[in-house]
Amino acid sequence: MQTYLVCPQVPDTNYAEMAVVKAIEGPDYVYVVQRAWRLPAGDAERLKADSENPRAAAEAFLAQVHLCNPAGDRQRCPAPYPR
């Protein structure tokens, strides 16, 4: 599951925060990975439009994130696990 979050103005600051969050259910736990970034505070719709490129980059990064079980399926595991 993946979602996109927008906070138009973080309380007591002059910036907005945006994040793409991905949750992955494993056999025993749920894992959460996120990419977040700041922009000047503003209207939520304008912030969404202004952050299309960082959002696309975050979504591309998170598309590559997956669970790896080196005891079972080493093909999905990055180095240093032998294949």
In a domain, 45, yes or no: yes
In a domain, 54, yes or no: yes
In a domain, 59, yes or no: yes
Whole-prediction pTM value? 0.75
Looking up tokens 């696309």, which residue turns up? 56
In a domain, 51, yes or no: yes
Phi then psi for residue 33, to 5 deg, are -125, 140
In a domain, 10, yes or no: yes
In a domain, 9, yes or no: yes
Domain count within the chain: 1
Domain that holds residue 59: 2-76
In a domain, 34, yes or no: yes
Model confidence at 60: pLDDT above 70: yes
Length of the chain equals: 83
pLDDT score of 48: 86
CA distances from 68 to 1, 9, 34, 76 (A): 17, 36, 18, 6
pLDDT score of 82: 55
pLDDT tens string 8-48: 999 999 999 999 999 999 888 999 999 999 989 988 888 88
Report which of 30, 20, 26 is spatially closest to residue 62, judged by C-alpha positions: 20
